[in-house]
């Protein structure tokens, strides 16, 4: 009896000891997993931000998003650069070129282009072609090395310094094109017709000058010309000032030029629409929960006269929001050609001390529910004339067409007013 009891006691002691060892081992393993290195913590932070904000959570199930995190954290990641590369690999299955890691230099440059007035590089705004999966030129910045070299919207970037743009991806291609003023970069491009050209471009400080304006006059009418090259933080205020200046010059109508405006801060584009519309829907956003929030403009407007808006295939993102809101509310006629078709909104998040991550958090629809992504905006009046090499110049035939059309609208407004005055005279 005592022997059996002792054996049972010994057995229980062994089991208890084994359980302590197992639990202790598991605890140590948990501690080991929790105590991630700084490099792996960067990867985990990026995964968490995307997991919480990405606009299409159904994609997570399709690509086994949690498993991707697990496999990524099992890799040997010891340096910050290895962390960036691991994040790029982790994001690739999402198949969204706009959700991307931004290394310190790229993060700083993107912030400066959104908040500043100049940037160092060749002056190209890039996107990804949905069909060919190639890096595509959305637009060139006026007065930039790219524009001077004859690169136009619709061209494809094939190589940068001998490295394939397809291999680099959108973010790294853009990064390699930027750099210190005075340095050179070898770029190989192909046109939509298949012609391939190679050019040596010298990077320099490109003046973004986001808002430009002038007065157009003829014998009978005074028209304001307002060009917005991109939507940075300062643009809404600059637009307000520009319109006030034009109103002081007694302009009767306004030509808004959004050609080759590839976007920028969506909030700035919406703010400009708000200043031109009175209590009208500006845009609807569709987030990961499928909720559509209509943004309604204020009652007060900066300008309420007739308008024509010029767009082309370099008109994208925030500028398409503005153009779509003006068209759908019958506030402005759109003239030009089909726009680029970027209907996704990115949120910029800090990652670590110096880097960042851009995450697609929503898609947007025009007030009438048109989905711009991959389709673009169709102008009310298509122009088949060659686009100008210098926007706003005397050789700009698109601008001349807009001017003539706006003058015809002003003449139509003038006739009813004259008829009304004649009726009043007869009554008196």
Separation between Cα atoms, residue 224 and residue 68, nearest integer Å: 54
**Stated pTM of the model:** 0.76
Residue from 281, 210, 208, 279 nearest 239 by CA:
210
Number of H helices, E strands in the chain: 12, 19
For domain 211-412, give the CATH number.
3.90.226.10
Separation between Cα atoms, residue 124 and residue 208, nearest integer Å: 11
What CATH class is the domain 118-207? mainly beta
* pLDDT over 90, % of the chain: 57
3-class SS letters over 343-371: CEEEEEEEECCCEEEEEEEEEEECCCCCE
- Predicted pLDDT of residue 405: 95
Contact in structure between 91 and 99 (CB atoms under 8 Å): yes
> Residue 299 catalytic?
no
- Mean pLDDT (the chain) is 85
Write out pLDDT tens, residues 323-365: 999 999 999 999 999 999 999 989 999 998 789 999 999 999 9
Please identify which of the residues 96, 155, 328, 396 carries the catalytic annotation: 328
Indicate whether 380 pLDDT > 50.
yes
Write out pLDDT tens, residues 44-59: 999 999 999 999 999 9
Separation between Cα atoms, residue 91 and residue 171, nearest integer Å: 12
Block residue for tokens 């520009």 = 242
Residue 283 contacts by C-beta under 8 Å, 6 or more apart in sequence? 270, 273, 294, 295, 321, 324, 325, 364, 365, 366, 367
Token pair in block for residue 55: 């606009």
Length of the chain: 428
Token pair in block for residue 227: 């060009």
Please identify which of the residues 139, 175, 317, 325 carries the catalytic annotation: 317
Please identify which of the residues 297, 342, 387, 396 carries the catalytic annotation: 342
Mean pLDDT calculated for residue range 282-294: 87
> Residue 328 catalytic?
yes
Separation between Cα atoms, residue 361 and residue 365, nearest integer Å: 14
Separation between Cα atoms, residue 349 and residue 107, nearest integer Å: 10
Dihedral pair phi/psi, residue 391, rounded to 5°? -70, 135
Separation between Cα atoms, residue 246 and residue 239, nearest integer Å: 10
Contact in structure between 308 and 255 (CB atoms under 8 Å): yes
**CA-to-CA separations, 64 to 57, 73, 91, 291, 365, in angstroms, rounded:** 11, 15, 12, 25, 29
User: Is there a common fold for 118-207 and 211-412?
Assistant: no
Indicate whether 418 pLDDT > 60.
no
Residue from 273, 238, 103 nearest 172 by CA:
103
Contact in structure between 156 and 189 (CB atoms under 8 Å): yes
What ranges do the domains of the chain cover?
1-34, 36-95, 118-207, 211-412
With b for 16 or more beta-carbon neighbours within 10 A and e for fewer, the 386-401 pattern comes to ebbeebbeeebebbeb
Separation between Cα atoms, residue 352 and residue 37, nearest integer Å: 13
Separation between Cα atoms, residue 174 and residue 183, nearest integer Å: 15
> Residue 32 catalytic?
no
- Predicted pLDDT of residue 262: 86
Q: CA 62, 96, 232: angle at the middle one, nearest 5?
A: 145
Return the DSSP state at 162. Answer: T
What is the maximum span of the chain, computed from C-alpha positions, in angstroms? 130
Contact in structure between 112 and 210 (CB atoms under 8 Å): no
Three-state secondary-structure class, residue 315: coil
Separation between Cα atoms, residue 134 and residue 128, nearest integer Å: 6
Contact in structure between 407 and 389 (CB atoms under 8 Å): no
Write out pLDDT tens, residues 218-236: 778 999 999 999 898 899 9
Token pair in block for residue 146: 């790219």
């Amino acid at each position: 009896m005592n022997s059996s009891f002792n054996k049972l006691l010994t057995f229980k002691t062994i089991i208890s000891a084994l359980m302590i060892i197992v639990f202790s081992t598991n605890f140590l393993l948990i501690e080991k997993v929790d105590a991630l290195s700084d490099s792996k913590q960067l990867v985990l932070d990026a995964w968490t931000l995307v997991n919480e904000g990405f606009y299409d959570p159904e994609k997570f199930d399709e690509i086994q998003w949690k498993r991707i995190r697990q496999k990524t954290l099992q890799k040997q990641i010891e340096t910050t650069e290895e962390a960036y590369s691991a994040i790029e690999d982790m994001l690739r299955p999402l198949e969204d070129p706009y959700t991307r890691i931004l290394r310190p230099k790229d993060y700083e440059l993107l912030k400066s282009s959104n908040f500043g007035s100049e940037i160092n590089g060749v002056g190209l705004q890039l996107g990804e072609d949905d069909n060919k999966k190639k890096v595509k030129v959305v637009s060139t910045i006026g007065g930039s090395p790219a524009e001077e070299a004859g690169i136009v919207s619709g061209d494809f970037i094939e190589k940068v310094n001998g490295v394939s743009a397809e291999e680099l991806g959108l973010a790294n291609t853009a990064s390699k094109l930027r750099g210190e003023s005075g340095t050179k970069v070898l770029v190989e491009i192909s046109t939509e017709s298949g012609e391939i050209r190679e050019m040596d471009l010298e990077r320099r400080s490109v003046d973004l000058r986001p808002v430009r304006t002038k007065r157009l006059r003829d014998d009978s009418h005074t028209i304001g010309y307002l060009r917005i090259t991109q939507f940075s933080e300062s643009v809404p205020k600059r637009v307000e000032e520009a319109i006030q200046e034009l109103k002081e010059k007694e302009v009767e109508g306004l030509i808004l030029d959004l050609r080759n405006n590839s976007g920028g801060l969506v909030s700035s584009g919406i703010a400009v629409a708000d200043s031109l519309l009175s209590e009208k829907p500006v845009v609807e956003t569709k987030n990961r929960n499928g909720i559509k929030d209509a943004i309604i403009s204020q009652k007060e407007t900066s300008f309420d006269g007739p308008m024509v808006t010029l767009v082309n295939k370099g008109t994208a993102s925030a500028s398409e929001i503005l153009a779509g809101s003006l068209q759908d509310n019958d506030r402005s006629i759109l003239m030009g050609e089909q726009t680029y078709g970027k209907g996704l909104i990115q949120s910029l998040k800090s990652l670590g001390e110096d880097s960042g991550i851009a995450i697609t958090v929503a898609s947007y629809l025009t007030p009438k529910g048109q989905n711009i992504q991959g389709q673009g905006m169709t102008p009310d009046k298509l122009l088949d004339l060659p686009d100008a090499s210098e926007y706003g110049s005397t050789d700009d035939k698109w601008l001349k067409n807009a001017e003539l059309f706006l003058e015809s609208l002003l003449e139509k407004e003038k006739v009813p007013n004259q008829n009304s005055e004649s009726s009043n005279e007869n009554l008196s």
